[in-house]
Amino acid sequence: MLRALSADGGGSRFNPLVVVELASNTKEEAIAWLLSRIRDTQQNGGAELLVEQLGPGVDAQEKENPNMFLVGATWQRLLSGAEDVGLFREFHDGSMRGFTCANKHNFKDFKGDGDSFLSMAECQYIIKHELDTLRAKDETHVPGYNQVKLYPGKSIIRRLLSKGILIQVFPLHEKEELKRLSFSWYQKVKLSFQPLDDIRHYYGEGQALYFGFLEYFTFALVPMALIGVPYYLFDWENYDKYVIFAAFNLVWCTVILELWKRGSASLAFRWGTLSRKKAFEEPRPGFHGVLGFNPVTGREEPLYPNTKRQLRVYLVSLPFVLLCLYLSLYIMMIYFLMEGWVLSAHNAEPTFWTGILCFIPSIIYAVVIEIMNLIYRYAAEFLTEWENHRLESSYQNHLVLKVLVSLATLLITSQILNQLMEAFLPYWLQRRRNKKMIRKVQKRKTLEDKELPLADQVRLEADMSTYLGTFDDYLELFLLFGYVSLFSCVYPLAAVLVVLNNITEVYSDAFKMCRVFKRPFSDPAANIGVWQLAFEAMSVIAVVTNCSLIGMSPQVKAYFLDSDTQLILWTVAVEHGLLAFKFILTFLIPDVPKHIQINLARLEFESLEALKKKKMLEASEVSKTVQ
């Protein structure tokens, strides 16, 4: 019944890009309404996209969901969509400009009728944007569902999603391209840089920036690793040189973070996201409030008073986080006490069993911490959801903040234990996770390698796990950075281990992106966002921990035998000096390379000049008319 193709798209030309999966028990009238809204012309407030129902699979099963739809679009529609989302591409003169259909032929890669101008990831992003901005007109509710209210301007897809009628919207993989990408990315054995441009082409800028950062971070740690090895091998007990090593590390951490800002600006400039004007950000699907008029857009949408949110943040979330911090410190104290008892018991009567007993507190502590961490993570997500942030970005910021506050404590805690085992704990946990994942994939692999018909391929992908964004990936890198920077002076091998880990990390992350997860929608990011701030904050804390660790070391104390005061004053002075140096360095290194600054300035200058010229032309025309 709904199988009919869109009026202006022949069956052979239809190129499915995005899958829309509705609940299997969705009412017919709601489906018919949704499809007609998606197909309707833009003048009528529709999305003007092509939709087709997915047929049953070859070995169709009873429980198969019939309500899966493939969405595509004509090239003209995609190009006008590219203009809507504000895509930046290289102009024929080498500068980056906002794409417009009117002068499409002046863009460098626009050839013929432009059907290879947009990457598939971009097309899918455009379709997602057009679906997201498909708004209710005068409908008061979704047909067939009186309780699912709509109001003029409400995003239809978001409402269906938040009410569970729409299960998921996801982009399709492109098997050929994926095969090529995965070959050049992780199946080739030869040592080389990652194909960042290809990754960006397939997964979008957000993903490519993550892998770019991972690669940059790995290379940036190599000098620290190289210097760390001889320290570990020869001079373990010589703290003189450790001071120099630690000072080098601190400065190096600052420099690499600053240089990454420049590197990421270069990448984002090349990919056109640096100067892209963001469209007005929509509320998150989970955001709720009383209906009112948005003061910016004038559209009717839920409003939630800022003061109420602030109260929730400062009166509930903040005390909760502080309480958890206190609790984790308290548990650490208990652990120390336990270890003290066990050790004294072992020293009093050393037997095999007391020897084993010595490990018990560490094991209990590790388990408790892992469980607490898990619980805390859920609580943090719940609280951040409850705080009811309007924007996805501010939701992410608050979540990252909460998780990091707890992790910084854990990090310091677990490093005070500073046994090799504990240092390897997260590494080992991650390995385990990877292994689990690989096993899960192996099962599916046999299925995947066969050339499946479209219907089965789509159903297979719909069944794959959803990639939940780069949060956990960045978190892992952040923890590793913490190990390297916070305790570099007592643990010179950290950088080596992290470099080794990162090399496998690239392969396992690439593997999971290509084989384990549904393809994610591309995210036109210009930088790594709140994580840059988190890494920088960590490098500030690192100055404090390193200075105090060096100050506490017996070798340094030996220099100040007669006066503890002198020692501490020197330590504090050095720390303040390093901090000041760090801030000055951050200030002195420009965030955007000079040639990109010039390029951006040129674009702005030209648009100002064009505006002036236009005005002048208008004025002279007016004067002609008057004459």
The closest of 138, 161, 134 to 151, measured between CA atoms, is 138
Cβ proximity to its own copies: between 61 and 627 the closer is 627
Given 229, 327, 601, 610, the residue binding its own copies (CB under 8 A): 601
Question: Phi first, then psi: what are they for 310, rounded to 5°?
Answer: -60, -40
Interface with its own copies by CB under 8 A: which range of 66-74, 354-362, 486-494, 596-604?
Answer: 596-604
Q: What are the residues whose beta carbons fall under 8 Å from the beta carbon of 170, sequence distance 6 or more?
A: 18, 19, 21, 461, 462, 466, 518, 519, 520, 521
- Give strand ranges (E) for 3-154: 18-22, 50-53, 68-72, 88-90, 96-98, 141-142, 145-149
Q: Is 43 one of the binding residues for its own copies (CB under 8 A)?
A: yes
Q: Among residues 437 and 585, whose Cβ is nearest to its own copies?
A: 585
406 binds its own copies (CB under 8 A): no
**Least Å distance between CB 410 and its own copies?**
19
CB of 523 closer than 8 Å to CB of 205: yes
Torsion (CA) 527, 528, 533, 538 in degrees, nearest 10: -140
Q: Is 322 in the site for its own copies (CB under 8 A)?
A: no
Smallest distance from its own copies to CB 550, Å: 15
Q: Which long-range contacts (CB under 8 A, 24 or more apart) does 404-408 make?
A: 404/478, 404/534, 405/321, 405/325, 406/321, 406/324, 406/325, 406/328, 406/373, 406/376, 406/380, 407/373, 407/475, 407/478, 407/479, 407/482, 408/482, 408/538, 408/541
Instruction: Tell me: does residue 10 bind its own copies (CB under 8 A).
Output: no
The residue among 122 and 282 lying less far from its own copies, judged by its C-beta, is 282
Q: Is 139 in the site for its own copies (CB under 8 A)?
A: no
Alpha carbon distance 47, 39 (integer Å) = 6
- Asked whether position 627 contacts its own copies by CB under 8 A, the answer is no
Give 15 or 133: the residue with its C-beta nearer to its own copies.
133
Residue 102 CB, nearest approach to its own copies (Å): 7
Check binding of 80 to its own copies (CB under 8 A).
Answer: yes
Element (H, E) at 85: none
Query: Which region, judged by CB under 8 A, interacts with its own copies, from 200-208, 322-330, 508-516, 615-623?
Result: 615-623
> Which stretch, 437-445, 447-455, 522-530, 563-571, contacts its own copies (CB under 8 A)?
563-571
Tell me how far apart the alpha carbons of residues 9 and 6 are, in angstroms, rounded to a whole number. Answer: 6
Q: Which is nearer to its own copies, 18 or 79 (CB)?
A: 79
Q: Contact between 306 and its own copies (CB under 8 A)?
A: yes
**Residue with Cβ nearer its own copies (363 or 552):** 552
Smallest distance, Å, CB 329 to its own copies? 15
Q: How big, in percent rounded to 5, are the helix, strand and coil portions of the chain?
A: 65, 5, 30
Q: How many CB atoms lie within 10 A of CB 193?
A: 8
Q: 264: part of which helix (H) or strand (E)?
A: helix 239-270
Residues 565-594 interacting with its own copies (rule: CB under 8 A): 565, 568-569, 572, 576, 594
- For its own copies, which is the closer residue by CB, 35 or 274? 274
Longest dimension (CA), the chain: 112
The smaller minimum CB distance to its own copies, of residues 133 and 354, is found at 133
| Burial track 204-235 (b if 16+ CB lie within 10 A, e otherwise) | bbbbbbbbbbbbbbbebbeebbebbeebeeee
Q: Rounded to the nearest 5 degrees, what angle is found at the Cα of 436, between the Cα atoms of 433 and 439?
A: 150
Q: Which of residues 480-539 bind its own copies (CB under 8 A)?
A: none
3 state SS of 459: helix
Of 54-62, 165-173, 421-429, 605-613, the segment contacting its own copies by CB under 8 A is 605-613
Token pair recorded at residue 475 = 């978190």
Closest distance between its own copies and the C-beta of residue 408, in Å? 12
Assess contact for 228 and 496: CB atoms under 8 A.
yes
Q: Is 90 helix (H, G, I), strand (E, B) or coil?
A: strand
Neighbours of 425 (CB within 10 A): 17
Asked if residue 315 binds its own copies (CB under 8 A), the reply is no
Piece of 122-130, 382-390, 409-417, 599-607 that binds its own copies (CB under 8 A): 599-607
Residue number, 559 or 605, with CB nearest to its own copies? 605
Torsion angle of alpha carbons 312, 318, 321, 327, nearest 10°? Answer: -120
Query: Is 296 an interacting residue with respect to its own copies (CB under 8 A)?
Result: yes
Helix ranges restricted to H, 7-117: 28-39, 75-84
Please identify, using beta-carbon distances, which residue of 244 and 279 lies nearer to its own copies: 279
Q: Does 392 bind its own copies (CB under 8 A)?
A: no
> Does residue 416 interact with its own copies by CB under 8 A?
no
Cα–Cα distance for residue pair 487/246, rounded to 1 Å: 9
Q: Is 616 in the site for its own copies (CB under 8 A)?
A: yes
Among 29, 612, 617, 621, binds its own copies (CB under 8 A): 612
Query: What mask of x and - would describe binding to its own copies in positions 154 to 193, judged by CB under 8 A?
Result: ----------------------------------------
102 binds its own copies (CB under 8 A): yes
Other Cβ atoms closer than 10 A to 241: 14
Among 329, 564, 610, 613, binds its own copies (CB under 8 A): 564
Q: Of 315, 329, 333, 619, which one interacts with its own copies (CB under 8 A)?
A: 619
Q: Does 626 bind its own copies (CB under 8 A)?
A: no
Which amino acid appears at position 247 of this protein?
A: A
Give the other-Cβ count within 10 Å of 505's Cβ: 21
The contacts of residue 605 (CB under 8 Å, 6+ apart) are none
By three-state DSSP, how is residue 590 classified?
A: coil
Q: Per CB under 8 A, which region of 79-87, 142-150, 479-487, 491-499 contacts its own copies? A: 79-87
- SS3 label, residue 253: helix
> Which of 101, 259, 356, 360 lies at the binding interface for its own copies (CB under 8 A)?
101
Residue 280 binds its own copies (CB under 8 A): yes
- Indicate whether 391 belongs to the interface with its own copies (CB under 8 A): no
Identity of the residue, 455 or 540, whose beta carbon is nearer to its own copies in the bound complex: 540
Size of the residue set binding its own copies (CB under 8 A): 35
Site membership for its own copies, residue 625 (CB under 8 A): no
Cβ nearer to its own copies, comparing 458 with 547: 547
State the sign of the Cα–Cα–Cα–Cα dihedral 511, 515, 518, 521: positive
Q: Taking the chain, what is the end-to-end CA distance rounded to the nearest angstrom?
A: 65
Tell me which residue has tokens 């290809």. Answer: 198
Residues at the contact surface with its own copies, assessed by CB under 8 A:
42-43, 80, 83-84, 100-102, 277, 279-280, 295-297, 306, 544, 564-565, 568-569, 572, 576, 594, 598, 601-602, 604-605, 608, 612, 615-616, 618-620
